[in-house]
Amino acid sequence: MNAIPIEYGLILAGILFMLGMVSVLIRRNIIFMLISVEIMLNAAGLAFIVAGSKWTQADGQIMFIFILTMAAAEVSVGLALILQIYHQLKTLDTDAANRMKG
C-alpha cells in the first residue's frame, strides 16, 4: 500500500465533480439532474477518502459514510418529489416546475 500521490486522487475527484456539474447544468430532465448530483456527491466523497488516506485516519471514511447517508436520504426524498412532480405536471422538465418564483 503505497505511492499513490494524493494529488492524483484529488484531480480524479475534481474531474468527476466537474462532469457531474456540467451535467446538472445542461440537463432539463429532473432524474438526470438527480443522477448528476449523485456523481458530484460521490466525487466529494472521493476527495474525503483521499485526504483520509493521506493522514491514515479513519475520519475521511467516516465523512464518506455521512455523505452516503445524506445521499441516501436525499435520493429518497428527491425521488418522492419527482413522482409528485410527474403526477402533477406530466413531465420531468424542470423548467416546467418554475412556479416557485419571486
95 contacts: CB under 8 Å, gap ≥ 6 = 28
User: What would the grid cell of residue 13 be?
Assistant: 475527484
Residue 32, Cβ density class (10 Å: 0-12 exposed, 13-18 middle, ≥19 buried): middle
Q: How far is the CB of 63 from another protein (least distance, A)?
A: 9
Q: How far is the CB of 86 from another protein (least distance, A)?
A: 6
Q: How far is the CB of 2 from another protein (least distance, A)?
A: 6
